[in-house]
Amino acid sequence: MLIVTAAAAIRGAFAVIITLPPDETYYWEWSRHLAGGYFDHPPAVAVLIRLGTALFGVTPLGVRIGSVCAGWAASVMLVLLARRLAGDRAAFVAAVALCCMPLAAAGLVLATPDAPLLFAFALTLLALDHAIEAEPGSRVATQWWLAAGVALGIAFVSKYNAVLLPVGVLIACVALASLRRQLRTAGPYVAAIAALLIFLPVIVWNARHQWVSFAFQLGHGFASGHGTPLSRESSLLGGQLALVSPILLALFATVVVQGARSREPRRVLLAAVSATVFLFFCIGAWRHPGEANWQAPAYVPAIVLLAAHAATTQSRTWKRWITAACALGAIMAAGIYVQSITPVLPITARDDPTARGTGWDTLAVRMQTLADDETARTGARVWLGGDRYQEASEIAFHLPSHPETFSLNIEGRPNQYDLWPGFPDRAHRGDDLLLAFEIQSADSVGPVVRRLRTFFDDARMLDVVELRRGTEVRTRRRIWLLERWHGSWPPKGFTP
């Protein structure tokens, strides 16, 4: 407990230091419009951010404290599950292995849907372990199945890939006779009903929005992508090596295979869940590109299996490999922390994931200055925005007044801003619109301004702002002023 708590404290400290990249400010915008669902994900991350900002204000810590606490709680659940499976030594190994994973060191700092998902995943597995250890059909077993269903419902409202957890459990129950008995009791069905009831607000929200969130995730996860199947599989594997560390990844694969072959119900269930999540995205990458963090839930049961094996094996070779894996993972995690503060790796700021939050405050301040100057000159109201959610959310976050901003999504992908009132819904004739968008080519005007300027009296480029990490230019944004809106607007490319 001391290890996982110290690790959470370190993550909390870095949560204060590291600037927020656009995805986090985008989720912060969700927290200002609480709902049963959102274009991209279910609402758990928005709820956590809303609670955090209520306590610590609209600050990096306020946005992230909920995820840091969820990561700590997930760590505690894993320690308890490992201890149940193989005693105190297993609990210790689980704590160390988790804290040394780059995935936890970096991912549990950020406000993303993965933090509540991993907590709910670990809590579900802990409750399931209690349930299958009890007498099938007994009152105690049913109560634990109910607890597992509640935890699974929390996973469902965190991220949609949580559906793979019950799929893995079902595979284990079908494959193993001793677990198959559970399907003849009320417990699994009580759990399913509880999970669906908790998930019901997300279903209702989607039904009211033409199932947009489900459709987006299905398209995002199953649409054919660029590159060859081999290149996509290689990219996915490379992401896992970076997030987990090469040695830990190999050890996880070994213990999952051992667990599946063991015929011991508790280990078979953990192995089935881990393999289901991991292989699902491996198979999917053959047709479409995947993101490295999608497989993160697979490592929750894998850590427990590794810890249990480490606690029971007499092999010195195994112990040396586990020690080496944790040491390498710790070095990689430390490298991520150092890189996020002082760049030491030969990576340009544009390609460095730890630099994605830098420079946005400069853009926001410049936008506000230009808007104030224009208002002082003409008396017109000036609205702020960008063509993508990245600009819109970062500008809103970094300005002290946290104004309403707009993402036009003319060139950018559809997103949650399409479901909120936009510029034509809020503005009045004669209002101005100040836009920031990325410089993609030598075209000084760009398709965004070219499409919009006929709806305004005038369009002028006011500035080019460099988004820097230190002295290095990461990217640039053009700032255009569209003056005196006519009152009409081009049709949307996306209709929610």
- Digit-coded pLDDT (tens) for 74-126: 999 999 999 999 999 999 999 999 999 999 988 899 999 999 999 999 999 99
State residue 493's pLDDT score: 53
Q: Based on C-alpha coordinates, what's the Rg of the chain?
A: 24
What local confidence, expressed as pLDDT, does residue 224 receive? 61
Q: What is the pLDDT of residue 443?
A: 67
Q: How many CB atoms lie within 10 A of CB 316?
A: 8
* Phi, psi values for residue 459, rounded to 5°: -140, 125
pLDDT value for 495: 40
Residue position matching structure tokens 């199932």: 211
Strands 382-386 and 405-407: parallel
Plot region of 109 (φ>0 → left; ψ -120 to 50 → alpha; else → beta): alpha
Note the pLDDT tens digit of each residue in 363-403.
999 999 999 999 999 999 999 999 999 999 999 999 999 99
Please provide the DSSP assignment of 342-354 as one string: S--SS--GGG-GG
C-alpha span between 361 and 19 (Å, rounded): 9
Dihedral of the alpha carbons of 162, 164, 167, 169, in degrees to the nearest 10: -70
The residues, ordered by sequence, that sit 6+ positions from 94 with a Cβ below 8 Å of its Cβ are 78, 79, 81, 82, 303, 304, 306, 307
In a 3-state reduction of DSSP, which class is residue 432? strand
- Three-state DSSP state, 475: strand
Burial-class residue 201 by CB neighbours within 10 Å (0-12, 13-18, 19+): middle
Instruction: Report how far apart, in Å, the C-alpha atoms of 247 and of each of 44, 264, 444 are.
Output: 33, 26, 49
For residue 485, list its beta bridge partners.
456
Question: What is the pLDDT, as a whole number, of residue 221?
Answer: 60
- Going from the first residue of the chain to its last (496 residues), give the mean pLDDT of each consecutive group of 10, the final group possibly shorter: 96 95 97 96 98 97 97 97 96 95 91 97 98 94 97 98 96 94 95 98 96 88 69 87 92 96 94 96 83 91 96 90 94 92 90 93 97 95 96 97 95 91 95 90 78 94 94 93 95 54
Return the pLDDT at 494: 42
| The predicted structure's pLDDT at residue 287 | 78
